[in-house]
Amino acid sequence: MTFLKKIPLFAFLFLAAPLFGQLPTADRVARHIRYLASDRMQGRGTGSRENARAAAYIVRQFRKAGLTPRGTDGFYQPFTARVRRVVVADSLRPASNVVGFLDNGAAGTIVIGAHYDHLGLGRQGSSLDPKPEGQIHNGADDNASGVAGLIELARYYARNDRKEPYNFLFIAFGAEELGLLGSRHFLNHPTVPTASLNFMVCMDMIGRYNPERGVGIGGYGTSDAWPEVFKGVTAGVKFFTDRAGNGGSDNAAFYAKGIPVLFFHTGGHPDYHKPGDDPDKIDARAEAEILRLEIRLVDRALDLPKMTFTPVR
């Protein structure tokens, strides 16, 4: 206190700005979601021009945050998505992950991921609408919300003026809706050795916070270190943990490779995989709180040695 008293308030605020100024805000979260889930993005179906446009947006945001490209073609890691259940006849589509790296010169790396593809115009299967063909499946919650979180965490860790004892790999996965194709492709062709990966944080549908339910955090049982990480952590949103880490989204691909995971999810709703999953139904303020909780948890894990994986039975 005596130390602070000697510094004028404006100087303190100026000094503190780099530390606190880049925390995720509801405004920025809402802006990413409005862009990615607008009608002109046509539901970001795998292989579409709009899916590529969404990837380009993520590249711009990663570059702006100051990440280094870590795909196989700059930030991009292209692959071919095989479509098995389709309404129309094509079966091979171009797809890509978007991979950015925050190099802290550390031996270990933390992965933060979210898929950016969705169901497009309802012709690639898995829509729950009775007549999906031709309808834009905007996918605001699934998963523009997770991508907004990914971009905001990248921005936070790249600009927080701290060199963490782990590197960060930020991955926007393609073709998740076709069966975790992007995350599986990454793990079969890793651009950072998988043995150096500490744990993976996955965000899929974190935009429809329900205060009754709270945000679910899966993967609690995937390492004995998680209870230590969560100990005493509080948040501006209600949350609960679930031991399982092998379902729901791209975290399942990392779990299958023996990497500890956390999976953030605000729960199902009547618009799930339907054209009504729109940006105006997103609670961006709650999402920003969820992201701040993620930062708190990741920051606690930074003080611990590389985690050991535990299979969940």
Contact residues: Zn ion, CB under 5 A? 142-143, 204
Nearer to Zn ion by Cβ, of 147 and 291: the residue is: 147
229: Cα separation from own chain's centroid: 19
Nearest-angstrom CA–CA distance, 97 and 181: 10
Report the nearest approach of Zn ion to the CB of residue 291 (Å). Answer: 17
* Cβ pair 278, 270 in contact under 8 A: no
Report the nearest approach of Zn ion to the CB of residue 266 (Å). Answer: 12
Report the nearest approach of Zn ion to the CB of residue 155 (Å). Answer: 22
Nearer to Zn ion by Cβ, of 143 and 246: the residue is: 143
Nearer to Zn ion by Cβ, of 46 and 143: the residue is: 143
Report the nearest approach of Zn ion to the CB of residue 194 (Å). Answer: 23
* DSSP-assigned beta bridge partners for residue 115: 173
Q: Where are the beta strands (DSSP E) in the chain?
A: 68-69, 76-82, 92-102, 109-115, 167-173, 197-203, 215-218, 239-242, 261-265
Nearer to Zn ion by Cβ, of 142 and 294: the residue is: 142
Task: Look at the block and give the residue holding tokens 């795998």.
Answer: 46
Nearer to Zn ion by Cβ, of 273 and 306: the residue is: 273
Nearest-angstrom CA–CA distance, 55 and 44: 9
Nearest-angstrom CA–CA distance, 16 and 8: 12
Report the nearest approach of Zn ion to the CB of residue 238 (Å). Answer: 22
